Structure 1
């Protein structure tokens, strides 16, 4: 685990690029990147006030640019505002969730054959809020999204799929 606190735009871009190209990725089963920052719709705001394109950062995890994670699951979590709208919510009657969960399709691959992968594959990108909206946080407790994310993964990480936990 590597932590980069209050990076400039150049430092953030370099760190993401270097992380995506780590040779150690060939020895892992999956990869994950968590970015907690200030932001706007398509950009993060670095500590120097410069903008960093989210699309440019995500492009570091394409199969050609990130060969060590090609064909492996990648989870990118972005905790940042994506605009200035404030979602005040709506009152609804509480119900028990009946989530079906994610069921991947059956695959039958001949291990002796080559596998052609798309440019970008096996990547889930999750945001703490919808496009155009702020991402809420507590002054004392930090991001509500990340706190809940950690709680859910801590409680269910050994028994549920990532897709079920994100649902």
Structure 2
């Protein structure tokens, strides 16, 4: 009888298609174009088919994700992994669309869950959310883009290793970077939540 392999050896099969969707409100968000450029470069390097939509309304956040899910389920080839990047102003648990209306993050996450998206059943789904959460400010620079997205792209394109290790490195670099905002020095920590059951290698 064979023993089950230890978790550290278990990795997701990444031989199939890799798909990415980025929804970004650029209005009144300086630096978001630099973030979009950086993400496009990252997805290209990591072998993702990438779709980007600028300035979605709250309803379009939902609709674009549903279109992404339907297109995935209609594919005949294997889908290995999906990345969804959501960038907007927001408050805890909600994002603000280009029309100033709010959309619940939870309803966006539901679109790709196992019940609603057959193509991604038991496959990794990664959500990157760059937004303020209540009093937690998501810092951006006018030309350079956001500290979070730029650091994430640097780490994901420079380093190899399972994604949770890469995200830990992103957090470490951001904690070390002192952001001077309005004359005051602040540190920013992204939050990582994971339900991955195996190791996810992008490189």
Q: Establish whether TM, by shorter chain, passes 0.5.
A: yes
| Aligned residue in 1 for 2:126 | 75
1:78 and 1:6 mapped to 2: Cα distance?
15
Aligned positions, number: 117
| Aligned residue in 2 for 1:33 | 84
How much is the aligned-residue C-alpha RMSD, in angstroms? 1.3
What's the CA shift for 1:12?
Answer: 1.4
Q: Which has the higher strand share?
A: 2
Q: Are the aligned partners of 1:25 and 1:68 in contact in 2 as well (CA < 8 Å)?
A: no
Q: Note the residue ranges of structure 2 that are not aligned, 5 or more in a row.
A: 1-49, 169-203
Q: Note the residue ranges of structure 1 that are not aligned, 5 or more in a row.
A: 85-132
The equivalences for 1:145-160 within 5 A come to 145-156=148-159, 159-160=160-161
| Aligned residue in 1 for 2:146 | 143
1:44 and 1:70 mapped to 2: Cα distance?
26
What's the CA shift for 1:164?
Answer: 0.8
TM-score, length-scaled by structure 1? 0.67
SS at match of 2:100: coil
2:83 and 2:113 mapped to 1: Cα distance?
14
Q: Which has the higher helix share?
A: 2
Cα distance 1:55–1:26, how it changes in 2: closer, same or farther (>3 A)?
A: farther
SS at match of 2:54: coil
What's the CA shift for 1:24?
Answer: 2.9
The equivalences for 1:83-102 within 5 A come to 83-84=134-135
Q: Are the aligned partners of 1:26 and 1:68 in contact in 2 as well (CA < 8 Å)?
A: no
2:76 and 2:107 mapped to 1: Cα distance?
20
SS at match of 2:90: strand
TM-score, length-scaled by structure 2? 0.55
| Aligned residue in 2 for 1:116 | none
| Aligned residue in 1 for 2:114 | 63
